[in-house]
Amino acid sequence: MADINELICAFEAGELEDPEIFEMFQSMINSGLAYRLQGSYGRTAEALISSGDCHDPQPGEAGDDELSESEDAYHWSPACSGVFSTTT
């Protein structure tokens, strides 16, 4: 999977196809990131779970390492309005 910052910016710009959106949100659901970003991400995650395009994390299922960082590792990214990015 591509860098989460790039994926979120591409998602915000409407540049992702449905399979890419589902994969991105599934990873964010698994790691919990979808629920730590602005509210629309959590609502979208819940809508994708309800539609069957994504699912609740299963026991032992982990998100991508790059998505599993602590909430404190995210800050506002001016490059993509409304998106958080990881610090280095």
Residue 11: phi and psi, rounded to 5, are -65, -50
Stretch 37-51: mean pLDDT: 97
Q: Is the pLDDT of residue 39 over 60?
A: yes
Sequence-separated (6 or more) residues with CB below 8 Å from residue 24: 1, 4, 7, 8, 11, 16
Stretch 10-20: mean pLDDT: 97
Whether the CA torsion 1, 77, 47, 64 is positive or negative: it is positive
Return the pLDDT at 1: 59
Alpha-carbon distances of 45 from 9, 24, 37, 50, 81, rounded to whole Å: 17, 10, 11, 9, 20
Full-model pTM: 0.70
Whether residue 12 contacts residue 80, with contact meaning beta carbons closer than 8 Å, is answered with yes
